[in-house]
Structure 1
């Protein structure tokens, strides 16, 4: 298989031509930032069958390694192993000592409780393929640390059985399926979530949704102030406001800025949402502490459910959870909150490393212990 660099426009054309779904970190806009580039695999007819975003990163001061978030897009699963092998050769020839892929392929099928589904899919064969190609799987620990929360996620299905029917692979869009109606989604939520949603409506809260190009400087300031204050209170790093804005403005066709107003017209919440052709992702937000007593999350999310349904999307992604599903486990409250809003559990493979040289093998041991 021939490997070539392609432009974000060619990448987007490949996605559209093959009706492929893609995730937040597979957006064409994401590929255009920070020296990232896209490698494509060309079949015998010189048509693109696979594509992946590569981010060059520094390794031990003098070297570089390749990092790929969310893995590759494939229009021909039978040639996945050929694509992996061909990209590995290309990276090695171009001076990379290691290739790290954070795979979005799901390991097994899980239900809302985090239990394995009887007769659900099992993608152990993908692990075997990766190992045959020289990749080492680093199973991510469960836990509340951000770096652990890139494998277990909470997702709301917006069409019937989309998680089961895709069998753990982000492939062709399921256009033959009709979206659920909003009232049905409400029945998948817990009673308290519905109650707080209705209460927020009665109390006069309203949501404003803008594209990045519609934001005023004051809007940006308000959203970032909300996130920074929430970061100080909840203990997460909210210092990358400039990068957040840069990504949002680059992702004009994949980003919404969301602000929640109380009945007096004051902003009490601000956040970033991203969407692709298959999912909407709640990326990051912050709330005025004084408004927390109103339990406004269900009002915000259900309004965004409506927008995602109108767009014909397949799922609504709440992002990472700890992977613990009993009340004594750390991070259980976050998981339970998302479950109450109708979310199911998915689990992807996460990190695979492939050393491409003797130096790469040393580096793999180093970063696998970090």
Structure 2
């Protein structure tokens, strides 16, 4: 075996054949200013392990390296693990590295949406091996962190399932909400980069609602530029003029049915069936007229086109990732978020992608969790939960690393 720098072409070929995260792709590598493609080749010259490592300045004179959701290799092959990470340490020392962070895309537990373990993966040998090599496991935390990737992901399995089956396996209310968005005429379209502000306005509403601050608008613009056609912002919106016209057509139909019912009652004044039908039609007419009035009021105050919800997505060969989103709570009745998810699930199916990744949750499955509502929303689509192995940190220069931690500079 040989530890080498590999070419972007070799990296791309390897990630096309081996399950990997969207951050471990050639297109992400080409967007980075400082990144290293490192791998192991066997005696036949074939790449059998690979990873992208970005670098950044640490303590002014040193470097910090990070392999986000990497590197990619067969972690059950302990001899390969030993060789890769021993060689990596040697390489990092040559490149003035202070420390390196890894968070491999390795499952710790597969759980249902309520947090119950369905399958466990025994990573003890791997953790022990990496610890012996100086790559210290940072534990199995719950919650969100500003310094590491989320460890808990909500994922919908699309493999060998039709759209009809996916809908059938969803929660009844979720399925009903999707149907209602279609009845109301909620649409989804991709926003061009120069309309990112429309997404960011909705995203900022989510920040205010949940009391967090994540990224600025320029970050999301750059993300789209970096990932090119593999990243997009999708907007769920409604044209209230079209919606109102549809309501009016339905109202006209109800009035016609009511006339027929009244004629039938004149012919059979004691018909219980026709009396019930007339009562139901009058109730439906009243409800529909109220919707038309409310819609006209909203058009007058807010305009005819309403931005309901928006999200930024990235996809690769294996997954569609639902990264960040926002919605206008004033328009929750139009349920734009449900339409967004369903359209992008169909997008994944159309592109032969087998996983729809709703992305992060806290891992706190109590009804007091800060993301309880988010978890219930994702659960409604029949998503399961994947718990990952977490972070490993290797202090390449242990004394300086410890000093940096003590003075709060890392």
TM over 0.5: yes
Question: Where in structure 1 are there 5+ consecutive unaligned residues?
Answer: 160-178
SS at structure 2 position matched to 1:50: strand
Answer whether contact 2:184 2:334 (CA < 8 A) is retained: no
**Which stretch of the first structure deviates more once superposed, 34-43 or 273-282?**
34-43
Distance in 2 of aligned mates of 1:180 and 1:365: 49
Correspondence 1:199 to 2:164: no
**Which stretch of the first structure deviates more once superposed, 282-291 or 194-203?**
282-291
Correspondence 1:226 to 2:202: yes
Answer whether contact 2:193 2:224 (CA < 8 A) is retained: no
SS at structure 1 position matched to 2:235: strand
> Structure 1 pair 360/190, CA: closer, same or farther in 2 (3 Å)?
farther
Structure 2 partner of 1:256: 232
- Which structure: greater helix fraction? 2
Deviation at 1:206, TM superposition (A): 0.7
> Structure 1 pair 111/363, CA: closer, same or farther in 2 (3 Å)?
farther
Deviation at 1:134, TM superposition (A): 1.8
Correspondence 1:242 to 2:218: yes
Answer whether contact 2:310 2:340 (CA < 8 A) is retained: no
Aligned residues: 343
Deviation at 1:262, TM superposition (A): 0.4
SS at structure 2 position matched to 1:142: coil
> Structure 1 pair 283/346, CA: closer, same or farther in 2 (3 Å)?
same
Deviation at 1:220, TM superposition (A): 2.6
Distance in 2 of aligned mates of 1:11 and 1:280: 20
SS at structure 2 position matched to 1:320: strand
Q: Larger Rg: 1 or 2? A: 2
The equivalent position to 2:344 in structure 1, one of 304, 310, 319, is 304
> Structure 1 pair 31/337, CA: closer, same or farther in 2 (3 Å)?
same
Structure 1 partner of 2:331: 291
Distance in 2 of aligned mates of 1:367 and 1:30: 33
Distance in 1 of aligned mates of 2:396 and 2:378: 40
Distance in 2 of aligned mates of 1:145 and 1:73: 23
TM-score, length of structure 2 as denominator length: 0.76
Structure 2 partner of 1:125: 125
Correspondence 1:188 to 2:159: no
Distance in 1 of aligned mates of 2:335 and 2:196: 24
> Structure 1 pair 232/36, CA: closer, same or farther in 2 (3 Å)?
farther
The equivalent position to 1:343 in structure 2, one of 379, 383, 386, is 383
Deviation at 1:75, TM superposition (A): 6.2
Answer whether contact 1:200 1:294 (CA < 8 A) is retained: yes
TM-score, length of structure 1 as denominator length: 0.84
The equivalent position to 1:279 in structure 2, one of 316, 319, 333, is 319
Distance in 2 of aligned mates of 1:113 and 1:40: 38
State the Cα deviation string for residues 117-174 of structure 1 (Å, max 9, x = none): 26x4333232122223221111253124555761011111112xxxxxxxxxxxxxxx
> Structure 1 pair 268/99, CA: closer, same or farther in 2 (3 Å)?
same
Answer whether contact 1:40 1:51 (CA < 8 A) is retained: yes
Deviation at 1:363, TM superposition (A): 5.5
Q: In angstroms, what is the RMSD of aligned CA positions?
A: 2.6
Correspondence 1:15 to 2:15: yes
Structure 1 residues 89-108: aligned runs within 5 Å: 89-108=90-109
Answer whether contact 1:143 1:331 (CA < 8 A) is retained: no
Distance in 2 of aligned mates of 1:286 and 1:368: 33
> Structure 1 pair 104/230, CA: closer, same or farther in 2 (3 Å)?
same
State the Cα deviation string for residues 228-287 of structure 1 (Å, max 9, x = none): 343334333254322221221221242122111203344332221011101110011222
Distance in 2 of aligned mates of 1:368 and 1:323: 28
State the Cα deviation string for residues 67-121 of structure 1 (Å, max 9, x = none): 1110111268532321121111111122112111012211123223211226x43
SS at structure 1 position matched to 2:239: coil
Structure 1 residues 103-118: aligned runs within 5 Å: 103-117=104-118
> Structure 1 pair 333/266, CA: closer, same or farther in 2 (3 Å)?
closer
SS at structure 2 position matched to 1:54: strand
